[in-house]
Amino acid sequence: MRELKIRKPALPHDQQPIVLAGMNARALREQRFGWALVFPSVFIILALILYPVVYNIYLSFFEFKLTGDNIFVGLRNYLGVITDSEFHLAVRATLVYVVFSTVGTTLLGLGVALVMNKKFPLRSFVRSLILLPYVAPVISVVFSWQFIFDPVNGIFMDVFHNKLGLFAERFSLIGSPDTAIWVAILFGIWKNFPFTYLMILSRLQAIDETLYEAAEVDGASGWQKFKSITLPEVYFVVSALILLRVIWNFNKFEEVYLLTSNVKVLSVYTYLKAFTGTMDLGQGSTLAVLQFVILIGFILFYVKKVLKW
């Protein structure tokens, strides 16, 4: 049987402009209502984010005076920062901190998530305990770590110097720039891996169990199941977490600054340059702009080459 097609009667030509005008007016009202809804968010973004960024770029071209008499110096601040040997050391320390802390956080979070995805007694309790380093106040855990590595009364020296005899004399791991950077990296990994673990665990729990059952029927080993099923399933979650962790670690300040004064990553170096000593806010703003440019460049490269969005 043929389907009956019911055609709506066409409007007379003299009524079509009226209908179109009514539709346009309705669309205009919806558009205005939409702008009214998003205006508070747009205003907050412009006021709290965009304006400080633009003003910081503007300030980087001036020699800032506390009296308010700013002197335009052009690119002199940028040339002064780029040719400063302390800036090169800060960049090197930042790269070491970001790379090792990001890799360590990702690998430890992935490993713990794989373990916590298995069934065992008191699993929920253990899962909640793992989150304690991430939710604990940073100031309290920093003091705890400083006590652990104290050269006189610290647990680390008591075990490795007094009991095991691995060191000939006591020394402070956080008192030397060569060793303090690794303590800061270990602290960053310990403090922040629970977030990575939690995100990966949530993705692992969403994987269809029938995929693993089919792999077992085919005789796949544990490594083959991880490589062919688990890793592809968590790839984009891990990739996004690496991007977020690089951004956070690149801008990390409070953990490094509170733990030791011997690690000058870019965020700490910028603070010291802008707000201590002679308080050179012009060069401090320049450092912030350079950090912003470096980070944006990495984000664009990573999104294009790794995430392929």
174, burial (CB in 10 Å: exposed 0-12, middle 13-18, buried 19+): buried
Same structural domain for residues 28 and 127?
no
Same structural domain for residues 163 and 115?
yes
The answer to whether residue 165 is domain-embedded is yes
pLDDT at 66: 66
Same structural domain for residues 27 and 119?
no
The answer to whether residue 64 is domain-embedded is no
Long-range Cβ contact pairs of 220-227 (< 8 A, separation 24 or more): 226/114
Residue-range definition of the domain harbouring residue 141: 81-272
Ranges of H-type helices in the chain: 16-45, 51-59, 76-82, 85-116, 123-130, 132-135, 138-148, 155-157, 177-204, 209-217, 222-225, 231-250, 254-259, 266-275, 281-302
Mean pLDDT of 85-106: 94
Same structural domain for residues 108 and 25?
no
The model carries a pTM of: 0.83
pLDDT at 9 over 70: no
Same structural domain for residues 257 and 115?
yes
The answer to whether residue 162 is domain-embedded is yes
Q: What residues contact 232, with CB distance under 8 A and at least 6 apart? A: none
The answer to whether residue 229 is domain-embedded is yes
User: Predicted confidence band at 1 (pLDDT cuts at 50, 70, 90)?
Assistant: very low
Same structural domain for residues 39 and 152?
no
Q: Which CATH number covers residue 157?
A: 1.10.3720.10
Higher-pLDDT residue of 70 and 295 is 295
Same structural domain for residues 100 and 226?
yes
The answer to whether residue 219 is domain-embedded is yes
Lowest pLDDT segment from 179-193, 232-246, 273-287: 273-287
Lowest pLDDT segment from 59-73, 83-97, 295-309: 59-73
Tokens matching residue 170? 């006591």
pLDDT at 224 over 80: yes
pLDDT at 21: 57
pLDDT at 63: 85
Count of domains for the chain? 2
Higher-pLDDT residue of 67 and 268 is 268
Same structural domain for residues 27 and 173?
no
How far CA 130 is from CA of 109, 161, 186, in Å, comes to 10, 30, 16
Query: What percent of the chain is modeled with pLDDT above 70?
Result: 90
pLDDT at 262 over 80: yes
Question: What's the whole-number average pLDDT of the chain?
Answer: 85
Same structural domain for residues 52 and 111?
no
Sign of the CA dihedral with 218 first, then 222, 225, and 228 last: negative
Mean pLDDT of 195-206: 93
Lowest pLDDT segment from 32-36, 116-120, 269-273: 32-36
The answer to whether residue 240 is domain-embedded is yes
pLDDT at 11 over 90: no
Tokens matching residue 142? 């920093």
Same structural domain for residues 162 and 54?
no
Same structural domain for residues 112 and 193?
yes
The answer to whether residue 214 is domain-embedded is yes
Same structural domain for residues 150 and 228?
yes
User: Predicted confidence band at 18 (pLDDT cuts at 50, 70, 90)?
Assistant: low
pLDDT at 75 over 70: yes
Query: What percent of the chain is modeled with pLDDT above 90?
Result: 31
The answer to whether residue 238 is domain-embedded is yes
